[in-house]
């Protein structure tokens, strides 16, 4: 994508809805392994491109989005056991909001932590923030 690579990466992360079939422990292992692979791959790619967090690196958006939607993808975490049609869209929007806005500590991490870990960690935290807000929304609006 010539523009908004992170946004398109986040949209693509919504596609593997198959993750919904995983138990929570397996889902967490997939996310952790995805994070570890992302740290390595983004580090290698960043060095090859000569830019730590090049806009074409979008695996961090996948992992962040999967974290943001954890309670939708793992039915046991949802208060109702299901997700309403609007919840993935809201989770996506919240993840993008936190990824662009970069409230503390996201901005701090983005500026100070470099390499593959730096590429990944800011989107992981944005995903956690989005998951927390989405989970609170699920509790307040069934």
Q: pLDDT tens track of the chain, all 142 residues?
A: 567 777 776 777 766 666 777 788 888 999 999 999 999 999 999 999 998 888 878 899 889 988 998 877 766 566 666 666 778 888 889 999 999 999 999 999 999 999 999 999 999 999 999 999 988 887 787 6
Residue 128, classified by CB atoms within 10 Å of its CB into exposed (0-12), middle (13-18) or buried (19+), is middle
Q: How many angstroms separate the most distant Cα atoms in the chain?
A: 47
Q: Provide the domain limits for residue 54.
A: 5-140
- Rounded to 10 degrees, the C-alpha dihedral 118/120/124/127 comes to 120
Count of domains for the chain = 1
Q: Are 1 and 57 in contact (CB under 8 A)?
A: no
Rounded to whole angstroms, the Cα distance separating 102 from 107 reads: 5
């Amino acid at each position: 994508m010539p523009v908004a690579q992170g946004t398109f990466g986040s949209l693509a992360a919504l596609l593997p809805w198959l993750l919904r079939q995983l138990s929570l422990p397996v889902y967490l292992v997939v996310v952790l392994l995805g994070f570890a692979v992302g740290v390595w791959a983004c580090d290698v790619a960043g060095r090859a491109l000569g830019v730590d967090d090049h806009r074409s690196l979008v695996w961090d958006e996948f992992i962040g989005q999967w974290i943001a939607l954890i309670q939708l993808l793992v039915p046991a975490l949802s208060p109702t056991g299901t997700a309403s049609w609007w919840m993935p869209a809201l989770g996506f929007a919240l993840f993008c909001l936190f990824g662009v806005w970069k409230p503390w500590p996201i901005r701090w991490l983005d500026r100070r932590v470099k390499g593959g870990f730096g590429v990944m960690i800011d989107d992981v935290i944005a995903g956690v923030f989005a998951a927390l807000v989405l989970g609170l929304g699920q509790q307040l609006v069934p």
